[in-house]
Structure 1
Amino acid sequence: MPNETPPVLDGPALWSAQAHLPSVLGRQLVIERGEGCYIYTREGRRLFDGTAGLWHANVGHSRPELAEAAYQQMQQLETYHIFGRYVNDRALELAERLAALSPIADAKVILNSGGSDAIDVACKLARRHWQREGRPTKTIVLSREFAYHGLHAYGTSIAGLDFNRAGYGSESLVPETARVSTYDIAAVERTVNEIGADNIAALVAEPIQGTGGVIPPAPGYLEGLQRICRENDILLVVDEVITGFGRTGHMFASERYRLKPDLLTFAKGVTSGYAPLGGVLVAPEIWQPFYRDNSETPIFRHGATYAGHATASAVALRNLDLLEQDKLLPRVSELETLLSSELTRLQSYDAVTDTRVAGLLGGVTLAEHLSAEAITDQLIERGFITRPLRGNTVQISPPFTTTDDEIKQLVEALSDVLTEQEGN
């Protein structure tokens, strides 16, 4: 019968994230162990983690140093909140460490639980700044086509991936948002002029777009964004949730691209995924009005129960130690050169339309007759995890501890799969 209601599928109680459930139920990989650059399924399969989880496992999996840091901290104090007069010592120590590393001079640090939290706080703070400045029309937050900024209310609203904004009864959960060109700085300028700078609070941009398809910036593009923001009193919010803490060979991609953000969001690499932690670095012109010694000084109403979580902060501090001790940022630069060389070889395939590398972030765009999702499934069968992204792109972004041979083996496996496809 044509109008018969499809059956409801059964499955685990866990509702998987970002999943078309009929497509994944019965095919899910249950991960139960990790070691270095590899993860192991419940059935005992060993898979090379070519995406570092969701871009976060920078120092590799199951590092005993990070487990020990969490264990020791929990024995002393699992956490205490940082509201009002209260603060814990690990959150204070981490904030000082991050401020010293920050590409923003004399930054203050807002801590929370992850990247989506950080984006919500940054967008709210941008709007709060202009309201406090007496410029109430500056409410619109701009973001780029193909951008991904998490899935909280603000992240959903400023997404440049339409499928992440659709289905909620309006064009944008938070109405005052708009998208600008990802490639064309002149088009960005036109959009700003059309909307009017007096109506724009902030522009949010990833230095290298991740989920949108591993898109490095066009030459001069990021510099152009910064110029437009400065000329029009628009706050520049740099989303370094993926790129922060070494993914581009610099502690922050803002250093690589000579950016001076007003606000910078971070997460993922700050703990290498060993604990949920994120935050915002805040420039002096934004934080100073909230620190004035005056009874009329306003409060910025931010905070969550686990903001400045003591154990997460202890893990982050030890993770930052490992980045330095193991010389992982210089290693990323070496791996970038190797990955770029290896992926360039794939451009000889008719099945490949483009390859891109920036830091230890690689993307391989496939021809329309292939499916990136199908290719990544075939790579799993060969022992390698990659990920399909927008634009029919295969993501490659392994841990910083990856060896040269592992990079070569992953790309060779992808080459073999493409060879099979061209023969079919």
Structure 2
Amino acid sequence: MKIRVIRAFPCSAALVAAGLVLTACGASGDSGSGQSGPASFEGRGPITYVTGKDTTGTLQPVLDRWNKLHPKEKVTLIQLPTDADAQRQQMIQNAETKSDAYTVLSLDVVWTSEFAAHQWIDKLPERQFPLHKMLKPVVETAKYRGGLYAVPASSDGGMLYYRADLLKKAGVAGPPKTWAELKEDCAKVRKLPEGKGMSCYAGQFQKYEGLTVNFAEAVNSAGGEVTDADGRPDVDTPAARKGLDFLAGSFKDGTIPKEAITYQEEDSRQAFQSGKLLFLRNWPYVYSLAQKSKVAGKFAVAPLPGLNGPGASSLGGHNLALSSFARNKATALDFMKFFTSEQTAKSFLQGASLAPPYARLYDDPALVKQYPYLPVLKQSVLRAVPRPRVVQYGDATSAIQREAYAALNGGKSSAQALTDLQKDLKKVMGQ
């Protein structure tokens, strides 16, 4: 993917996509420290906002509103690849070179501990943000060792998108609550003329962060866990094996189409919108886009199914963090308050179906009428299970992706993959 690099202010920084060579540059304002201890939050002037590629088209209008109100403190958007692993790597490379090219970072919720432990992001003044109005599981993703190191901008819970029109025509009363029901429903729909040639189910199974999410959801939805309450690996269990068996077995029996081994979020969304899939596991952002596609008015959403009943999503979303090496931190802090406000969260909900961190928005009658999936999404977020919150998250997710992928493509049995993963995770966590 070609990366377009934008500089926030004149300097000698070189941003090279092939290696992301970054050097600190001189500019007026706060110098940034990158050191432990309370941040000074001094300096005003231009800043940058660094995030994955905006596929919704709703981000720039929000930044434009800020820039109109703050013409001397403009924010410039730096878009990284859509792949979460590539985003994380480029942010880490920027931090390791102590570059001030990145100011405010949009972090996957699971990266907070890693970035805070390495002192790549500043500890934030907790009382300056309305955290008491947000869903508690969402707020917890922004903390490390009791301190606030990020602010929730959006949450995320996986949901099951399904073709309600085809289920109804096949005589199915409602969406499946279990994996067995999902497969039974697929068999009924495939007997319809409209279901001929359709695939049953897909999620995100390419070897990237999405695979970690889908693997963890399958394990949790079968009653297993990746790590226990104390953070110790606990994945080599019968329950975890049932979860991975569902995914691997579904590839083998055709429930999941073979091409889904290459799917990321956008690939799977497009497959569903084009009418190729009966069921899709994906995030809430899909809802507004699907309403503009050929399946508009034909689909609905439900909780993810599990082994014996409704499953559990991995907790997703993004938090805003402040680079320890940034300049103009007073401006950055104000921008973070603006971007994570309830008003902005509502605009992202209305424009892109992004899950808001604010509890009140899920219960607003007018919003629920306009977005009927909100009650499902709220339960998804509240029931969601965090991915392993470990400092060595990069190594942990790489191990998960490697072993899960081997099971899905038939390179290993589920049992062997989980045995190997247990050993890998213990090594990663120094246990």
Which category of TM-score, normalised to the shorter sequence, fits these structures? under 0.3
| TM-score, normalisation: structure 2 | 0.26
| TM-score, normalisation: structure 1 | 0.26
* Structure with larger RCO (C-alpha < 8 A, sep 6+): 2
